[in-house]
Amino acid sequence: MSEAPVREAVVRIEGLTRSFEQGGVTIDVLRGVDLTIGPGEIVALLGPSGSGKSTMLQAIGLLEGGFGGRIEIAGTHASKLGSNARTALRRDHLGFVYQFHHLLPDFNARENVVLPQLVAGKSREEAEERADELLGALGLAERLSHRPSQLSGGEQQRVAVARALANRPRLVLADEPTGNLDEATSDRVLAQFLALVRGEGSAGLVATHNERLASSMDRVLRLSEGRLA
């Protein structure tokens, strides 16, 4: 009898640790975090302010060094890679959404979604088609030529969502993705974000303070005292 194929985890971390030195005092922010996220799974990361949610996302996003433990992204052990290989792994498999959109101010909505695709080697035609598809799905078909300053906060954040998904990442890391929006806009943008991530088949790890929004995700994790529960 043949066994069902094992679906490779999108991210697997084991024994993740991170400490910071401040004024001669060592703070152990992450004290041995273990986590596996499967393909297409959307996971909420809850925890009080200062519990280490952003630090954990930075580790998984391969954005910073200084971490102990093992981080595997799409089957590749990332911790020991050189900086070029880490950049390639990040570019090929990960998408990011932050609390503030970090869009390029001099480029319009469409170009902000096109540019990361050109960097990843897509043709301009292909990149524009993909940008229009994503921005259209997010209700921004009439805003393609607007620069970030000409968009509302919710619209800016939706462009940031489209940009994060542009290269079809296996995993989207979102750090308080709607944290700077009012409650009604935040709910709407988060619902659209989750629907799009699901539709694309990407996995997600979403740091948030909002229990209600977290409960709409596949799994809820709580970071406390440097560990996950």
Ligand X SMILES: Nc1ncnc2c1ncn2[C@@H]1O[C@H](COP(=O)(O)OP(=O)(O)OP(=O)(O)O)[C@@H](O)[C@H]1O
Binding site for ligand X (CB under 6 A): 20, 22, 27, 29, 47, 49-55
Three-class DSSP category at 132: helix
Number of C-beta neighbours around residue 6 at 10 A: 6
Which residue, 162 or 217, has its beta carbon nearer to ligand X?
Answer: 217
Closest CA to 102 of 148, 139, 62, 70: 148
To the nearest whole angstrom, how small is the minimum distance from the Cβ of residue 30 to ligand X? 8
Give the separation between CA 100 and CA 123, rounded to whole angstroms: 28
Which residue, 29 or 213, has its beta carbon nearer to ligand X?
Answer: 29
To the nearest whole angstrom, how small is the minimum distance from the Cβ of residue 50 to ligand X? 4
Two tokens, residue 170:
């296996």
To the nearest whole angstrom, how small is the minimum distance from the Cβ of residue 67 to ligand X? 12
CA distances for 121 relative to 91, 116, 154, angstroms: 11, 9, 29
Which residue, 151 or 217, has its beta carbon nearer to ligand X?
Answer: 217
Which residue, 49 or 149, has its beta carbon nearer to ligand X?
Answer: 49
Task: Give the amino acid at 103.
Answer: L
To the nearest whole angstrom, how small is the minimum distance from the Cβ of residue 205 to ligand X? 13
To the nearest whole angstrom, how small is the minimum distance from the Cβ of residue 79 to ligand X? 19
Which residue, 8 or 211, has its beta carbon nearer to ligand X?
Answer: 211
- Name beta bridge partners: 97: 174
Closest CA to 75 of 97, 55, 92: 92
CA distances for 145 relative to 40, 152, 170, angstroms: 31, 14, 28
To the nearest whole angstrom, how small is the minimum distance from the Cβ of residue 42 to ligand X? 19
Which residue, 2 or 22, has its beta carbon nearer to ligand X?
Answer: 22
Number of C-beta neighbours around residue 80 at 10 A: 10
